[in-house]
């Protein structure tokens, strides 16, 4: 999917926690391709069929541990995006990510080494953030 725009890092990041330099990839569709609202941002997600993943997140995917994956996303992903969340917002975002990962994980193929040519420059792009209509 490639979410590098969300961080200060210029290059591929883990599609789960946004950690730079992912080592692994999973093939599979993004169940929420299209407009996605999460962590105070509305984003257009274009599905390229490849999920970049750091080692920790790939291990969680392989264990089908959507709960811990959602916790990592809230704890670390929002920090890397520079979005402070209050307790209520963090709870809502956790539930959003948990539901999302429970849909996404079963559709992912086996873990394989990441090929950097699979990043945004090769087709799959996450564009955003766009202005959230509810924040007008």
Residues 6+ apart with CB under 8 A from 82: none
Q: Give mean pLDDT, residues 82-102.
A: 86
Whole-angstrom Cα Rg for the chain: 14
- Separation CA 18–CA 107 (nearest Å): 20
Inter-CA distances, 46 with 3, 29, 68, 101, 128, Å: 11, 10, 25, 17, 11
Distance from chain centroid for Cα 20: 12
pLDDT-based confidence at residue 45 (cuts at 50, 70, 90): low
Q: Give mean pLDDT, residues 123-132.
A: 34
Tokens of 112: 């394989």
Higher pLDDT, 37 or 87: 87
Place of tokens 């080592």: 23
Q: Flag whether 33 is in a domain.
A: yes
Residues 6+ apart with CB under 8 A from 30: 1, 45, 47, 51, 104
Q: Flag whether 136 is in a domain.
A: no
pLDDT-based confidence at residue 34 (cuts at 50, 70, 90): low
With a cut of 80, say whether residue 57 has pLDDT above it.
yes
Q: Flag whether 134 is in a domain.
A: no
Total number of domains in the chain: 1
The reported pLDDT for the residue numbered 41 is: 54
Containing structural domain, residue 40: 4-127
Q: For the chain, what is the mean pLDDT?
A: 74
């Amino acid at each position: 999917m490639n979410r590098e725009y969300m961080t200060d890092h210029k290059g591929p990041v883990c599609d789960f926690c946004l950690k730079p330099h992912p080592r692994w990839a999973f093939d599979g569709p993004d169940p929420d391709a299209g407009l996605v609202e999460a962590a105070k941002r509305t984003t257009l997600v274009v599905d390229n069929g490849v999920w970049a993943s750091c080692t920790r997140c790939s291990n969680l995917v392989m264990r089908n541990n959507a709960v811990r994956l959602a916790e990592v996303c809230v704890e670390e992903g929002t920090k890397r995006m520079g979005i402070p969340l209050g307790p209520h917002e963090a709870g809502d975002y956790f539930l959003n990510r948990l539901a999302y990962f429970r849909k996404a994980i079963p559709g992912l193929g086996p873990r394989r080494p990441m090929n950097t040519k699979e990043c945004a420059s090769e087709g799959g792009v996450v564009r955003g953030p766009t202005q959230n209509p509810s924040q007008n």
